Amino acid sequence: MLRLIVLAVLVCGVLSSPRTSGVKTGTVIEPKNDKVFGCYHTNWSQYRPGAGQFFPYDIDPFLCTHLFYSFAKIANGVLAPYEWNDESTDWSKGMFEHFTDLKMQNPGLKTLLAVGGWTHGSAGFTEVVASASSRKKFNDHAIGYLRKWKFDGLDLDWEYPGDNVRGDDPSKRPENRELLTVWCAELRAAFEAESAATGQERLLLTAAVAAGKGNMDAAYEINKFQASLDWINLMSYDLRGAWESVTGHHTTTRPHSEDDADTQLLTVEWAANEWLARGTPASKLVLGMGSYGRAFTLAGAENGVNAPASGGASKGTYTRETGFWSYYEICEKLAQGFKVEEEPVRQIIYAHSATEWVGYDDINSLDRKGAIMQGLGLRGGMVWALDLDDFRGTFCGQGTWPLIKKMKHMCLGGDYSPPPAPTTVPTLPPTTRDPNAPTDPPTQPPTRDPNNPCAGVPDGVMVESGPCSPEFHHCSGGQIIHTQSCGSPLVFNEACSCCDYTANTPSCQN
């Protein structure tokens, strides 16, 4: 009964009654020269606690030209929802509908459904591209699914086709590189045929693609597959991270001569130029930017770039991911005394305490990415993700959406008034964690009631269904409200609240 009550509260109090904390106003975007500023929304941000909780109806519909809903998945060879409340029901609107309803406020806005993501893996995509019949099955279903939920297109986020890119993933196949080209051509043809037959505006087709050389080589026939796409979203972030033994900025702008040859390629500048050099027109390339930072635990007294590190830094207060901090959580760290540094050769900023280090962008360092975008004449930019900026204006003293407003200006032009630097440290929400409290996750997950692993667990937290299991539960009110499963061969790792390999997962080490 308690589970039903909790679910009813969520449905009636959250889904049916969107927050109305302020009236959104703005001008319908009319980008010049078909410029793009795309913004990704993550459907798991609804589970964050307190001030970090984020829903589609929290999005300002005048910020972006295109919104991407992340993620749908592939199940039984066709599109399917990831979350329990993505689709509407007879008794409540779902998140898809709240998302596409934003076009009622801004008729110039376009919404796309993104399928895949890192956690999804390759298996579903491999199943789809394997034959002409399986591709047609997906394509035909996708058209109906996108129209039903009023999306304007599909964004393919296959991480990644080809070989050598997902460790021990058994679905990796070298032939996927060529099959992706075939599939995109057939999907685009299906979208065009449906538009011609119905008179509706053609569905858009885009793809989120890798920025690292190894993935570029293995995953894409770059000069061919892009021909079927409206544009490509270059994921020029996550280039460095806590999987390394030294600190590194995940959106490094330019290389440094002191880095080794491989690291010098892990830059935004190199990635953008390489996609162009391999045959992508500048009019089809959209530069990715991040509204978050990758954070490390320092392993000694050094605190610069390439300082020794011992893994990811503490979990974000709201993202609850090890070594992954939203911009507003970084502002929280700055308020606690982190020192900001600039590295002019790499054209980056970072911040550190005595024990932790984070690389990120602020409204000033974003200018370096804007210079690349404009200098190369790219189609525009995109951001991962809306829910990681200071969307409430609570933390950073720079008003609402400070990073995304700056990115919009860089991509689309128009008036822009940079927010003044705060003269005082912002007052942080009462849900902020005590900076002196221990933050390291336990080496083993806590003992839980096997009949109810959510018992005693805070709202919004995700827990394993059992040791070393791919299945995990979302908790609220001490009860399970939704269950998901990681794609093979991944299992759920509570230490990072993510799907991970067994070698990295504490509960698999017994």
Residues noted as catalytic: 159
Which distant-in-sequence residues (6+ apart) come within 8 Å of 9 by Cβ? 477
CA-nearest of 200, 211, 195, 109 to 159 is 211
- C-alpha pair distances (Å), 334 with each of 306, 360, 362, 422: 21, 12, 12, 12
Q: What's at 275, amino acid-wise?
A: W
Q: How many residues does the chain have?
A: 510
CA-based end-to-end distance of the chain = 36
Q: Quick check: 179 and 229 in contact, CB under 8 A?
A: no
CA-nearest of 465, 428, 381, 469 to 36 is 381
- C-alpha pair distances (Å), 39 with each of 160, 204, 372, 380: 21, 15, 19, 11
Q: Quick check: 341 and 304 in contact, CB under 8 A?
A: yes
Give 177-227 as a DSSP string.
HHHHHHHHHHHHHHHHHHHHHH-PPPPEEEEEE--SHHHHHHH--HHHHGG
Token pair, residue 480, equals: 């399970």
Which distant-in-sequence residues (6+ apart) come within 8 Å of 317 by Cβ? 52, 329, 332, 431, 432, 433
Determine whether 53 is exposed, middle or buried from the number of CB atoms within 10 Å of its CB (0-12, 13-18, 19+).
middle
Q: Quick check: 319 and 52 in contact, CB under 8 A?
A: yes
Q: What are the contacts of 495-504 at 24+ separation with CB within 8 A?
A: 495/322, 495/441, 496/312, 496/321, 496/322, 496/323, 496/324, 497/315, 497/320, 497/321, 497/461, 497/462, 498/119, 498/321, 499/118, 499/119, 499/470, 501/167, 501/168, 502/468
Give 282-324 as a DSSP string.
GGGEEEEEESEEEEEEESSS--STT-BEEEE-PBPTTT-BBTE
| Alpha carbon distance 39, 70 (integer Å) | 10
- C-alpha pair distances (Å), 323 with each of 180, 455, 499: 32, 27, 15
Which distant-in-sequence residues (6+ apart) come within 8 Å of 217 by Cβ? none
Neighbouring C-beta atoms of residue 298, cutoff 10 Å: 19
CA-nearest of 115, 152, 66 to 383 is 66
With tokens 């390339």, the residue in question is 285
